[in-house]
Amino acid sequence: MEFKTHISVRNLSVFYGTQQALKNITVDIPDKKITVIIGPSGCGKTTLLKSFNRLIDSQDGMKVTGQVFVDGENIFDPQVEVTHIRKKMGLLSQRPYPLPMSIYDNVAYGLRIHGTKAKKELDRRVEHYLKEASLWDEVNDRLHTPASRLSVGQQQRLCLARGLAVEPEIILGDEPTSALDPKSSRRIEQRFLELKEEYTTVIVTHILRQAKRLADYVIFLYLGELIEHGLAREVFENPQKELTKEYIRGTIS
Amino acid sequence: MQRKRFLKDIIAGRLMLVLTVFSGLIVFLMALGLYFRSQPILAVKPLSDLLFSSGWHPLRGEFGFLPFITGTLWVTGVAVAIAIPFSLLTAIYLSEYAPRGLREWLKPLIDLLAGIPSVVYGVWGVLVIVPLIKDYIAPFYGTFSTGYSVLAGGIVLAIMVFPIIIHVSLEIFNAVPYEMREASWALGATQWQTIKHVVLRKALPGVIAASVLGLSRAFGETMAVLMVAGNVAKNPTSVLDPAYPLPALIANNYGEMLSIPLYDSALLLAALILLLVVLFFNIISRIILVRIEGSV
């Protein structure tokens, strides 16, 4: 199967102090597909994900070599202005962290910091993205109450709406369902499947069954190294490397 | 043998209990003592007269606290107006911008400021701040000042209050989850937007508590202010006027002028007022801080 590349990673190594978290990774992330990064904990999954929007920048003692191209632009080029890279991507973290403000303001936050001021426009878009994240029906009567009062599952969907509101091209999910109950997890997964027509999606997970449900494309990392990557069905049904086989069988974790 | 062992245990326990209860009670005992000792003056003059009249002529039996109260408010106000912006910006820099190495170096250095004896601040104020005001600041505004002024007191106090506000604010900023900042950055917010809309917003109650804590320190601080504020019993009308804050009044006169009738009682009333105000500020800020810890 041929696909268009959205993010291409070339010889990427990331160091935290003397410790090397990623070792010379080269891989292409397909456009408008769900790519799932799997691997045991501490293998560099989150580092790889957070290098895409350069959130790893704020770690002390972080050093990067190699390149990551998004839409053909090397995002680690010192000339690059980081906020416009981040605006291209919505992030869902392991636990939802609503900002300390109302439900409405959480979604409007990204719009406001990028210059949308008109009340009508904000109203329209907040409603639109809350619907996109399938949260509107549950909160439309209390938009101006603090977001922290929502349940964890609702908060995670709010974070999705907040991320979508800045009109990204890419959705990044760092184990986005790990704090959620099974029902809320399924709702988030469902949204990912529906949204993949419009967005390139990259998800980190350590839940193999979730990876199988969602993935079009799989990247398997082990101790900072890229072991295997390819179409989901091929990797899951016919892994080429011994380590991948063992991980999928569940003998290493 | 066995019995002796248990007896010792019981005695040690009881003794420590008594000491603990006693140190907890000291504040109340002091307040109570001050209250009773200030009764004689309250018996002859209504409290509102004492608080809101400006005449301070102990020999004639006039005890108007107003100049001292306004003096305290002026000096505290100037101190807080200088200290809050400076220490907040410092705390923000240290918590949000400074690389870890620099932060680990600077934090203990700032905390060290809190350990300097206040008389040293006072001397420093006399030697540096007072001449600075007399020779440069007052002439710049085309007026005369001896330098011993509200401004001198305010500046010295502000520097004494810095470490408190910085220290507490840093703790508060640390309590804001890192992931909340990440969420904001991930939306393309700049560092400053993140600080303004997320970190400060989340930390606001704590920052207020930190400021109130600093304010109460400034309010009751005696030595340094006494040395630089000028000590003239008149309502100040500008920051270049001298002031005579309440703590300085008590420290300067208690034990000296006690042959004058009611003088002793008047000073103890002033002490009581000071104690209650500082206690009130402290309790307010503790309540806010405890609430925050409970909610994080």
Residue B187, φ and ψ in degrees, nearest 5? -85, 0
CATH of B66-295, one of 3.30.60.50, 1.10.10.920, 3.90.700.10, 1.10.3720.10: 1.10.3720.10
Report mean pLDDT in 10-residue bins for chain B, 296 residues: 87 93 92 93 89 88 91 94 95 93 92 91 95 92 90 95 94 92 94 95 92 89 90 90 92 84 90 92 88 65
The pLDDT tens digits for A48-104 are 999 999 999 888 788 999 999 998 899 999 899 999 899 999 999 999 999 999 999
CA distance B174 to B293: 12
Three-state DSSP at A2 gives coil
Residue B113: which of B58, B165, B177 has the closest Cα?
B165
Which pLDDT score is estimated for B261?
85
Three-state DSSP at B149 gives coil
CA distance B7 to B242: 62
Which pLDDT score is estimated for B74?
94
CA distance A170 to A143: 26
Cβ-Cβ contacts under 8 Å for B199 (sequence gap 6 or more)? B92, B95, B96, B173, B176, B180, B181
Contact B197 A113 (CB under 8 A): yes
Q: Where residue A10 falls among pLDDT bands split at 50, 70, 90?
A: very high
Query: What domains can be seen in chain A, in order of their start residue?
Result: 1-82+204-253 (3.40.50.300)
Distance (Å) from the alpha carbon of A197 to chain B's nearest alpha carbon: 21
The verdict on A142 touching B (C-beta cutoff 8 Å) is no
CA distance A239 to A98: 39
User: Which pairing describes strands A89-92 and A170-174: parallel, antiparallel, or unpaired?
Assistant: parallel
Which pLDDT score is estimated for B294?
62
Contact A113 B193 (CB under 8 A): yes
Which pLDDT score is estimated for A153?
92
The verdict on A60 touching B (C-beta cutoff 8 Å) is yes
Q: Where are the domains of chain B?
A: 2-37, 66-295
Which chain A residues contact residue B296 at CB under 8 A?
none
Residue B129: which of B230, B8, B264 has the closest Cα?
B230
The verdict on A115 touching B (C-beta cutoff 8 Å) is no
| Nearest-5° Cα angle at A49, A47 to A51 | 65
Residue B67: which of B249, B263, B239 has the closest Cα?
B249
Provide the Cα torsion B235, B238, B241, B247; round to 10°.
50
CA distance A38 to A232: 11
The pLDDT tens digits for A184-225 are 899 899 999 999 989 999 999 988 999 999 999 999 999 999
Which pLDDT score is estimated for B296?
46
Contact A83 B197 (CB under 8 A): no
Compute chain B's Rg from CA coordinates: 23
Provide the Cα torsion A171, A177, A182, A186; round to 10°.
0
Contact B202 A89 (CB under 8 A): no
Residue B61's Cβ-count burial label (10 Å; 0-12, 13-18, 19+) is: middle
Contact B186 A114 (CB under 8 A): no
Q: Where are the beta strands (DSSP E) in A177-238?
A: 200-204, 217-222, 225-231
